[in-house]
Structure 1
Amino acid sequence: MSPARRIAVIGAGAAGLCAARNILSKPHFTPVVYEGTNHVGGTWFFTEQTGKDEYGIPIHSSMYKNLRTNLPKQVMAFPDFPFNKSLPSFIKHTDVLNYLESYCDEYKLRNHIEFSTLVEKVEPLEPDNRFTKWEVTTYHVSTKQTSRNIFDGVMVCNGHFSVPRVPDIEGMSDFQGRLLHSHEYRSPQDFENRTVVILGAKSSGTDIALDLAPHSTKVVMSHKGSQFKSELPSNVEERPVPLRFTQTGVDFVDGTHIECDVFMFCTGYKYTFPFLGNLVSVDNNRITPLYKHLINIKYPTLSLIGVCCIICPFPQFHCQVNYAISLMDGSAKLLSEEEMLEDEKQDFQARIESGLPPRHAHLMGHRQWDYNNDLADLGGNERITDNVRLLYDLCHRRRTFNLMLYKNDEYDLSGAGNFYKVD
């Protein structure tokens, strides 16, 4: 019998648990999951803490108290592990954490997780060998012990919603109100009777604005997109992007001004992989060299799960993990380095030609479905059912035109025909 192939998994959030579960399903494969905290769930683990924890480690989670999913549970689930039927379609963050804990326990993953363990360095043992083994250096945060272990492959599942991206705006240092990023937001009660300006109107910006509206005096959504098609609460208004801060407020590019107590950046997050050194490059939010936004082109036994954005995450993690495993176990064909570089180049060029800026190199949106199918086909794995796409698109339309009420919708994917009813 051949010895088990050991795969290091970095992170025990949704992507890391998915990786561990599917690695375990393969004969002669075993995972070792390194998790910096003492729990599973990644960003879905809510904590009131912001800043750093008791060990001086930056808080990973960006959950806030009242968060409910902006996708229905029916499309969020891993393909072979549905959410509890008794839950509504749009669920609380605590329900998602319970789901991930149940997933972890169902597949007996805890014995494979080393908690409170940070990965400090990932290095190829043979830098000129595409199939090199890996040395992974870790640090245990409470014992302060460093360890080094050898692996046959590495799956990076550290997420990309923990290191805030904050643009530099003229006069920020002069502003006398509170400046924060959505990563630090926890409860609307902290902003009672305040005027809050939110920069950014994607998912987090709009959801936080609606969360704040019943408590704050006024909420201003500052963004560069077109005006919302949905009705908004009476004390929520839209403005263009800021031009500069004043001591007590914000000037906008259209010449208007708002006096405000709080300015919140809902401006996204940075990709960060400090433990990978020069194995990948991150430039203007684009990670290279990656084949299919996933496989390190020079070292294909190193994969980065969950890099893509504007996606239905858990099903895509499932597709990515299984394709990465199929390359490692030899069931999928591995292209040459030159072929993968060309594929990466063409993918990026197609995005630029479609009008996307370079910083959206990994944005998916409607592209995610062909991408998921491509990974499944290349790995000889089962595709995600098309009902997931249909329901995802329906939910997007409902959200666009009914931002305040779409989470009251209830969906059912158990049969053909209508997907939803409105209570």
Structure 2
Amino acid sequence: MTYINNTKKLAIIGAGPGGLATARVFLRNCPQYRIDLFEKQSSIGGVWNYDDNNKDGKVMYDHLETNICKQLMQFSDFPFPEDVSTFPKRKDVLHYLKSYYEKFLKNKDNLVMHLETKVENIEKVETESKWRITTINLSNKETKTELYDYVIVSNGHYEYCNFPTNILGMKESLEEKMVFHSKDFQNCQFAKDKTVVVIGNGSSGQDIVVQLATVAKKVYNSVNELSKNDMIHDLLWEMGCVEFVPKIVECDAKTHTVSLLDGRVINDIDYIICATGYKYNFPFMEKRLKNILLTNNPNGDIASDSGSGRVYNLWEQILYTNDHSIGFILLSQMIIPFPLAELQAAVLSQVFENKIHIPHTFKPDNNSESYHSFPELTDIEYYRHLQKLLDDTNYDPTSNFKPVKWDTYHRELRSTSKDNKTERNKMLIKHAKILREKGLPYKLIPIEEDELEKLA
């Protein structure tokens, strides 16, 4: 490929949903850019790129379906196939992402895909106002260094596990292999006739409890608050092997016990699974920039195998406040990721083209680790705010990329999503109960037996 000297160069880090969406948007909005998309795996898909024969380091597990319905989850003007379940299975999502790549990105003249290529270092070259990026091809070990005008980081935040730091004995129990993170959960078979504690009741925690309940002798789910009149909890209680307990204050791998906040001690624990989320990290960033982003202190220190509960010094969660030539996609949580990635990329495209004014001073953001979370459907207001930023530039969706617009229809779809997933979880628990009665390990409901699909 031949490029003229004044061609702007953009590096996108990560070819998961966020990176793919960013590439699609920039190909449309900034056709004059040369785009390099770097992915360390051998195929696109990010966390959804799951090999049944090689679970190591992957967030997914065997029997997973999404917690968002396909109508809400889909990219702009790119619906899931009709034969895909309402809550798509992980393999359906990977196929969907590959179809997205084939339609919008493959064989585009100004996009180069670099698979099996790990980004080793990103640093700003102030004298040239460019970013120097060093990469290594994991296949042939060849290293390259190149300069870029812009960088967009979309490396995900499901690699660096977050473990509870306030539980005595946690470190020793990890070393003894009694404790592991939900990232390392593959299926329930290891738990047959075992007693297992699951810490956390988010999407993964709830999923894992349900799956374990088909084969385990006993499952304890340690949660921050014991809900009352919760139908999901009631259904799990009815299985006879699941019990909800308060926070754990201590675990002991030698005695195989856990001590609870209410003073109780649970004996004969075989495993503890921490479904306690993940930390942010940018191991490829030069040290000072990484510290500013992850500790809010240029002299801070983040271990290469650790991370931070949040990212600092951001405008609208997508742009580094001290340098408007580097952006971030999908740092936010409790959101609808695929359409949001496209919307965030559309805003960044206008920032890079100087069509959105960035204030010189910024109101201090929420300093807590909940900064990236949008609970209770507050994400809708964030989407609409980003859309307004575009609208204020006279953004023309006929000549530019057209992101999902969060109108009344989409708001209603989002507003009912939590209740819809609750109803779905009831079906999954009833399915798990039947499997337990039959002495079978957990598996997904076959589509031909799925009551939800019969109603669709």
Matching of residue 336 in structure 1 with residue 345 in structure 2: no
- Mapped contact 1:210–1:404 kept (Cα < 8 A): no
Three-state SS of the structure 1 residue aligned to 2:331 is coil
Instruction: Name the residue aligned to 2:414.
Output: 392
Aligned residues of 2:219 and 2:242 also touching (Cα < 8 A): yes
List aligned pairs for 1:251-330, cutoff 5 A.
251-258=259-266, 259-277=268-286, 278-279=288-289, 280-283=292-295, 285-330=309-354
Measure the CA separation in 2 of the matches of 1:88 and 1:304: 31
8 Å contact from structure 1 (residues 77, 314) kept in 2: yes
Q: Identify if the C-alpha distance between structure 1 residues 13 and 149 changes in structure 2 by more than 3 Å, giving closer, same or farther.
A: same
Count of residue correspondences: 388
Q: 1:15 aligns with which of 10, 14, 18?
A: 18
Counterpart contact for 1:73–1:91, Cα < 8 Å: yes
Cα offset for 1:77?
A: 0.6
2:276 match: secondary structure: coil
**Paired AA for residue 239 in structure 1:** V
Instruction: Determine the structure 2 residue equivalent to 1:98.
Output: 95
Amino acid of the structure 2 residue aligned with 1:364: F
Whether the 8 Å CA contact 2:68–2:421 is kept in 1: the answer is no
Counterparts of 1:394 and 1:12, CA distance in 2:
30
Q: Is the 8 A contact 2:235 2:429 kept in 1?
A: no
Mapped contact 1:62–1:161 kept (Cα < 8 A):
yes
2:74 aligns with 77
Asked if the contact 2:279–2:310 (Cα under 8 Å) also holds between the matched residues in 1, the reply is: no
Unaligned stretches of 5+ in structure 1? 52-58, 350-357, 409-418
SS at match of 2:219: strand
Question: Which of 144, 149, 154 in structure 2 is aligned with 1:147?
Answer: 144
In the other structure, the counterpart of 1:363 is 373
Return the letter of the residue paired with 2:371. Answer: A
Indicate yes or no: 2:243 matched with 1:237.
yes
Letter in 2 for 1:28: Q
Deviation string, structure 1 residues 250-294 (Cα, Å, up to 9, x no partner): 111112222321100001001001222332421452311100011
More divergent stretch after superposition (244-253 vs 91-100): 244-253
| Counterpart secondary structure, 2:366 | helix
Structure 1 CA distance for aligned equivalents of residues 281 and 23 of structure 2: 22
1:285–1:361 CA contact under 8 A, matched in 2: no
Q: In structure 2, what residue type is equivalent to 1:7?
A: L
Cα distance between partner residues in 2 of 1:109 and 1:295: 27
Q: Report the CA distance between 1:232 and its aligned residue.
A: 3.0
Residue among 361, 368, 378 paired with 2:389: 378
Cα RMSD after superposing both structures: 2.4
**Structure 2 match to 1:40:** 44
Q: Distance in 1 between matches of 2:259 and 2:23?
A: 49
Identify the residue that residue 433 of structure 2 maps to in structure 1.
none
2:435 is matched with none
Q: Which amino acid aligns with 2:168?
A: E
Deviation at 1:196, TM superposition (A): 1.1
| SS at 2:356 equivalent | coil
Q: What residue is the counterpart of 2:63 in the other structure?
A: 66
Percent identical pairs in the alignment equals: 29
Answer yes or no: is 1:86 the counterpart of 2:83.
yes
SS of 1:282 mapped into structure 2: helix
- SS of the equivalent of 1:361 reads coil
Whichever residue aligns with residue 404 of structure 1, its letter is K
Corresponding position: 1:212 with 2:208 = no
Cα displacement (A) at 1:399: 3.5
Q: Deviations over 1:190-244 (max 9, x none)?
A: 2222111000111110011112211212211101034244233312221011011
2: distance between equivalents of 1:401 and 1:225? 21
User: Secondary structure of 1:94's partner?
Assistant: helix
How many Å separate the matches in 1 of 2:386 and 2:171? 47
CA distance in 1, matches of 2:263, 2:103: 57
User: Which secondary structure state, in structure 1, belongs to the residue aligned with residue 426 of structure 2?
Assistant: coil
**Aligned 1:129-144 pairs, distance under 5 A:** 132-144=129-141
- Residues 295-339 of structure 1, C-alpha deviations (whole Å, 9 max, x = no match): 011111200101001111111111111100111123x3222331x
Change (3 A) 1:212 1:387: farther
Within the alignment, does 1:405 sit opposite 2:414 as a pair?
no
Letter in 2 for 1:12: A
* 8 Å CA contact retained: 2:199, 2:223: yes
Equivalent AA in structure 2 for residue 20 of structure 1: A
Q: Give unpaired runs (5+ residues) of structure 2.
A: 296-307, 396-402, 431-451
Give the Cα–Cα distance (whole angstroms) in 2 for the partners of residues 238 and 407 of structure 1.
15
Q: Normalising to structure 1: TM-score of the pair?
A: 0.85
- How far residue 90 of structure 1 moved from its aligned partner, in angstroms, is 0.7
The structural deviation recorded for 1:9 is: 0.3
Please give the per-residue CA displacement for 1:342-362, whole angstroms capped at 9, x wherever unaligned. 2xx1x427xxxxxxxx11011
Cα shift readout 1:357-378 (whole Å, capped 9, x = no counterpart):
x110111132211111111221
Work out the CA distance in 2 between the residues paired with 1:420 and 1:24.
37
SS at match of 1:316: helix
1:348 matched to which residue of 2? 366
| Code of the aligned partner of 1:29 | Y
Q: Supply the AA of the counterpart residue of 1:377.
A: K
Cα shift readout 1:35-82 (whole Å, capped 9, x = no counterpart): 01101000011134354xxxxxxx2x2000000011101111112211
Determine if contact 2:135/2:144 at 8 Å carries over to the other structure: yes
**1:173-212 to 2 correspondence within 5 Å?**
175=173, 178-212=178-212
